[in-house]
Amino acid sequence: MLGPLDSGTMGTVLVVASDRHRLHAPLAEIESSGFQAPFEHPGRADAIHAALAADDRFEFAAPDDAGLAPIEAVHDPGLVAFLERAWQDYNRAHPGTHDVVPDVFRMDALRDGLGGFVEPVSIDAELGRWCFETTTPITEGTYAAARAAVDIASTATDRVLGGAGVAYALCRPPGHHAPHGLYGGYCFFNNAAVAAHRAAATGSRVTVLDVDYHHGNGTQQIFYRRADVQYVSLHGDPVRAYPYVTGFADETGAGPGQRTNRNLPLAAGTDDAIYLGELERACEAIAGFGPDLLVVSLGLDTYRSDPICDLAVTTEGFARQGELVAALGLPTVVVQEGGYDLATLGENTKRFLLGLAS
Ligand code: SP5
Ligand code: ZN
């Protein structure tokens, strides 16, 4: 269990970061039936890093190497092994490919009446076996970048378990769309799930509060049947918003995890007043669960000018979000997820973190 909070260096927030995220740099994403410049690109993490580094209220630490164990605690080892070799295998079959993207997906229905799923052998088919959509290319450095993001989340969690009140994991690529055995939604390894499981393994009760615009289907799935980890999410209503098939209010957990899952779907155009009211309801659910430690999946894509989302949160709203979360009084690991308006991403992240540390 956790000891008393360490006030740390007065007034500073610990940021765990690495420039290895730049190793994941796709040329394009296939979205809305066309190739376009990726929304999820290295400039995002660089912009956040620059905004925090320019402010002496943040101090920086490099991640420790956490190894494979924390990843395989929440993901299928088959997915991990596949991601390690996928780019090389694909380029043996198709030399000179920069962005590796599946052109088939799981075609279970093609085997109706044939006696169940067959594990594919061809790399072309393997891609579709592990991936659920087209906006998440694998590049030569993707696996290394995704491993570094897990190292960052693990290190930030260790610092909070060690007494830091707040630590921010500047993870990229993001993670919350990756369930136990799939990748997609710009996500390969679920950094927030790694953080939550790592803390839960020490005996802590843990809540993951997900404020990214998109429902964290991966995190929800990983903890859906667990009693020791609660998942609470505010997100665009899946009736209109990606990932479309999860995030409904009636998904409340199962088995030992009954009532440990809470989804709060939001209407298009939701502004600060409505958002913060829903966040208060989320915080009530968290207080009812009574966690020892909080993991925040921080998405800034609820921002009013985000290029791929439709909520109307303001920069000031992110500061208020941080303050509301701070009122829970919990040791908190903040894990970076989405946010695609490059001009405001750094400032919005900074305001959330300063609100949280206030
Ligand atoms: C971490 C994160 O924020 N991932 C978000 C992934 C969103 N991917 C968008 C997928 C396609 C949405 N297509 C909208 C069609 C509008 N014409
Ligand atoms: Zn998102």
Q: Which of 21, 177, 197, 215 is catalytic?
A: 177
Q: How far is C-alpha 288 from the chain's CA centre?
A: 24
Tell me the Cα Rg of the chain: 19
Q: Is the CB of 322 under 6 A from ligand 1?
A: no
Best CA proximity match to 333, nearest among 108, 161, 205, 179: 161
Residue among 134, 171, 240, 242 whose CB has most ligand 1 atoms within 8 A, to mutate? 242
The residue contributing the CA closest to ligand 1 atom 17 is: 32
Token code pair at residue 287: 């207080």
Q: Give 54's contacts (C-beta < 8 A, 6+ positions apart).
A: none
Give the pLDDT confidence of 162-180 residue by residue, as tens digits.
Answer: 999 999 999 999 999 999 9
Note the pLDDT of residue 107: 87
Q: Which ligand is nearest to the CA of 235?
A: 2
Instruction: Say if ligand 1 is within 6 A of residue 346 CB.
Output: no
Ligand 2: centre distance to CA 232 (Å): 15
What confidence tens digit (pLDDT) does each residue in 179-216 have? 999 999 999 999 999 999 999 999 999 999 999 999 99
Nearest atom, ligand 1, residue 339 CA: 3
- 3 has a pLDDT exceeding 80: no
353 Cα to the center of ligand 1, angstroms:
25
How many angstroms is it from 308 CA to the middle of ligand 1? Answer: 7
195: CB partners within 8 A, 6+ apart: 153, 154, 156, 157, 169, 295, 333, 335
For 7-23, the DSSP string reads --STT-EEEE--GGGGG
Which residue has the least CA distance to atom 1 on ligand 1? 338
For the CA of 174, the nearest atom of ligand 1? 1
Task: Say whether pLDDT at 6 is over 80.
Answer: no
pLDDT at position 10 over 90: no
* Predicted confidence (pLDDT) per residue in 261-319, tens digit: 999 999 999 999 999 999 999 999 999 999 999 999 999 999 999 999 999 999 999 99
Which ligand is nearest the CA of 311, by number? 2
pLDDT band at 108, cuts 50/70/90? confident
Q: Residue 28, Cα to own-chain centre: how many angstroms?
A: 21
Kindly report whether the global pTM for this prediction surpasses the value 0.95. Answer: yes
Q: What is the pLDDT of residue 9?
A: 46
Mean pLDDT, all residues of the chain: 96
- Whether residue 4 is predicted with pLDDT greater than 60 in this model: the reply is no
Is 306 a pocket residue for ligand 1 (Cβ < 6 Å)?
A: no
Indicate which ligand has the atom closest to the C-alpha of 241. 1
Per-residue pLDDT tens over the stretch 308-348: 999 999 999 999 999 999 999 999 999 999 999 999 999 99
177 is catalytic: yes
Nearest atom in ligand 1 to 301's CA: 3
Is the distance from the beta carbon of residue 31 to the nearest atom of ligand 1 less than 6 Å? yes
State whether the beta carbon of 174 lies less than 6 angstroms from ligand 1: yes
Confidence band, pLDDT 50/70/90 cuts, at residue 116: confident
Phi, psi of 147, deg, nearest 5: -65, -40
Q: Could you tell me the end-to-end alpha-carbon distance of the chain, in angstroms, rounded to an integer?
A: 24
Residue 1: is its pLDDT beyond 80? no
Interstrand relation of 293-298 and 261-266 (parallel, antiparallel or unpaired): unpaired
Q: Is 212 in the pocket of ligand 1 (CB under 6 A)?
A: yes
